[in-house]
Amino acid sequence: MLFSSTSTANGDCGRASIILASKDKHQVRVHSLRTNALGDVFVRVFQFEDEFSHTHPVVALTVGNNFDRMVPLVRVHSRCLYGEVFGSLDCDCLPQLQLTWQAFIHEKSGILIYLEQEGRGCGLISKATAYEMRQEEGLDTVEAYRRLGLPLDARQYSTAAVILKELGLDNVRLLTNNPAKISGLVAAGIGVQPVHLRSEPTKWNHDYLVVKQVKLGHDLGFGADQSSGQWEDWRGRGGPWKDPRNVVVRPREQFEGDWRGLGGIPQ
């Protein structure tokens, strides 16, 4: 089986595209792990025979084991050092991860695939440069990436699709607001039913989130009043969620709509 990049329109920051060959081209290490929030989980560390993944193995964390009886909740998450480690309030990466944990706890199952795609796939130095331009010149993240000549989003999801298939899954409920993530997995043969992650905007990340919705097409639930009218244009085209080419919806009983949080992690 051969998978190549699914984000042909976005480029790859000059990095070699991920080309994954047959299953014997990667190795997997599996072990259990005791965690604070999720209890006992399984961790699978994949190392693929390509330049990118050799440096940055891909991790799949699984909670529960009832994936044969229900379409699992899946989060495909790209690394964000600032949010996840430093607790940055300027983005919504940590809240999305926390909502993912809450969803997994609620269902007692779920799968997180963690991809080393910092800075929307362009690396930490690009991300830091964009932050610098934002603070010194007032550019938003999209304007900064354009000025730098970088693709607005170079992340790829074919690796995640390979891992899902290795786990025996070809149909998932995907915790995401990002249509590119959906179309990337669908293009790689995974059926996707999107489940939005709805974190409350803060005064620090509000403008960033509006840019994310208006300029990058993420569905963050902002209304027209909060996105200076451009949201109406986007919605007028039907939006990526309503485009059957982007979304493969398989009806499932347990679909419960958007995740808005459960008021704290249940004990």
Contacts 24+ apart (CB under 8 A), 148-151: 150/13, 150/122, 150/126, 151/10, 151/11, 151/12, 151/13, 151/121, 151/122
What's the closest the beta carbon of residue 234 comes to Zn ion, in angstroms?
22
Q: Which is nearer to Zn ion, 94 or 190 (CB)?
A: 94
Amino acid at 181: K
**CB of 204 or CB of 255, closer to Zn ion:** 204
Cα distance between residue 75 and residue 194, in whole Å: 10
Those residues whose C-beta lies under 8 Å from the C-beta of residue 240, and which sit 6 or more positions away, are 179, 182, 183, 217, 219, 246, 247
Which residue lies nearer to Zn ion by CB, 28 or 81? Answer: 81
Using the minimum distance from each CB to Zn ion, give the nearer residue, 93 or 195.
93
From 153, 173, 198, 219, the catalytic residue: 153
Q: How far is the CB of 230 from Zn ion (least distance, A)?
A: 23
Strands across the sheet containing 110-115: 26-35, 39-48, 58-63, 110-115, 73-78, 171-175, 191-195
Residues in the chain: 267
Token pair of 30 as six digits: 């599996």
- Residues 148/167, Cβ–Cβ less than 8 Å: no
Give the nearest distance from C-beta 88 to Zn ion in angstroms: 6
Distance CA(46)–CA(28), nearest Å, equals: 5
- SS3 (DSSP) at 217: coil
Q: Where are the beta strands (DSSP E) in the chain?
A: 26-35, 39-48, 58-63, 73-78, 110-115, 171-175, 191-195
Q: What does the binding site for Zn ion look like in residue numbers (CB under 5 A)?
A: 80, 83, 91, 93
To Zn ion, the closest distance from the beta carbon of 130 in angstroms equals: 12
Q: How far is the CB of 35 from Zn ion (least distance, A)?
A: 21
Among residues 44, 75, 120, 155, which one is catalytic? Answer: 155
- 155 catalytic? Reply is yes
CB nearer to Zn ion: give 193 or 213: 213
68 is catalytic: no
Active site residues: 153, 155
